[in-house]
Structure 1
Amino acid sequence: MTRETGWREWLDDLAERFDRYTLGDLPPEDRQDTWEGATAHPVTHAMDRTTAGDAWYEHCRQVLTWLLTRGDVAPSRAEELVAEAVGGRFESRMKPEQTAVRHVAERLAASLEPTTA
């Protein structure tokens, strides 16, 4: 398998995983749980795919940003939200505890909810 084939398979796999979550026009009562699940899953998958190697969390941030843009979040806003949610919670060469993964997913999902005035 070439490096390009490996990346292509990884991107195809991500696309299939993203398709499992309907993140568009969800009713408000379903939105938080769906976004939490949708964001926690790619974190774990990116961690496994990279074997939590050096700066694996940067790859994870990229995957989460792609997920948000797939869910109609503007790219610059997606990058900002992911940076705020992940913000120093993951380290190189260390798999995070599941509580940290859940916390990032909760923070990111909560940031996607529209603010009420």
Structure 2
Amino acid sequence: MSTDYLTQALTAGLPAQVDSPVGFLRRRLNDKIPPVLPVAPEAPVVPARRVMVECTRCGTPGRPDALPDGLCRPCRQVTHGSAVTPDGVTEPAIERDVRAYVSELRDLLKVP
């Protein structure tokens, strides 16, 4: 029960004159304060399930937080490295992955 709730319940509809403050307060407390509402029951606690996932490249199992972007640490290190093309130019891993993906798609389109 909060202070604001108690103040509103005791001061709502005050009479013009109060002869006995103690009697007035006793009557207000007995008549005006509504019963305390029951607290809603809490939802039952469900035990947390552990989820295991696998690396999308090598299949190593692990927790989801240990496999960001679906890759384990060794596979991420290979992916985020840079490669040297036959021309001797270094290209970022993301561009290499896109080119490899596009070439795989082209190969799939060639198959009857």
Is the pair's TM-score, using the shorter chain for normalization, greater than 0.5?
no
Bigger share in helix = 1
> Could you tell me the TM-score, scaled by structure 1's length?
0.23
Structure with more of its chain in strand, by fraction: 2
Greater C-alpha radius of gyration: 2
